[in-house]
Amino acid sequence: MNEMQKGANLLCGDAINNFKTVQSFGNEEKLVEKYRDLLTPAIKEQSKGQIGLGIAYGLTQFAQFAGFAAMFYFAGVFIEAYTVVGKDGKINYGLQPDDVFIAIFALMFGAQHAGFAAAFGPDNGKCLAAAKRIFGMQEFPSKIDAVADDTENTKKPFDIKDCKGKIEFKNVWFRYPTRKEDFVHKGLSFIVNPGESVALVGESGCGKSTFVNLLMRFYDIDAGEILLDDRNIKDINLHDLRRAVSLVMQEPVIFNYTILENILYGKTDASNEEVRVACRTANALEFIESNDIKEDGKDATQSS
């Protein structure tokens, strides 16, 4: 069932994320039809078991209420069996009715709450598994720790003013930690000289994004060297490295703060003039100012 729904879920997610493109080509109806076609086998497969599930549910409900009826019926039988009518016409209960019904309700409510308690069993298992993962992350910190790098004397500072921008990959081998069997880069070697514009082109999964991730040290390579201005990036302070290399993602994340605060994530001590220069360089300053987002005379970059 999950495999049948996987294709439909992927199609739905891609259509929602790229709804502007879908709408511009007028493919809404076509995608809806394709989504329906992908779901049809799953619906048919699921419907086969619905009758059996309905019968099973009916039997469980019948058993529950039949049990209640049986308890009350046999309670009456026991009370009657132990009841004696005296010669004076006085009824003597050998088994008190209130004791019987107390026992019945104790059983009913006890079973009910035992069922409620059992329902928390899977949740307890999930909680234990989640706690184990959380404490595991705390006990085994990341191998690439920007905070720890600031306290290590072995890491060399890197002044962005002296950065020329030469990038060199030397016989780089890399595989993701979760896919140890497949190497993404196998002996990758090339040089990007300062001032050059380089485009990485290839099919999905060939390593284009991985190249950037390795340059920013989101991952460390398995073999080889990555050099920035002829210096191994592993020897450079991580904060300095990421200040020297600017990364613009295809789908950037915008935090629920002002435009100024979002921009300052790249350099927390930047001046207002540096922020304006960054906006102008990114071709965003005109867009920010043209959207009339000034409040109480504040600069456009200070308001969202």
Domain boundaries, the chain: 2-48, 51-122, 154-244, 259-302
pLDDT digits (tens, 9 = 90+) for 232-267: 888 888 888 887 887 777 777 788 888 888 888 877
pLDDT of res. 295? 45
pLDDT of res. 185? 87
CATH superfamily of the 154-244 domain:
P-loop containing nucleotide triphosphate hydrolases (3.40.50.300)
Query: Which residues have C-beta within 8 Å of that of residue 186, sequence separation ≥ 6?
Result: 173
Residues of the chain with pLDDT under 70: 1-4, 49, 86-93, 141, 146-154, 291-304
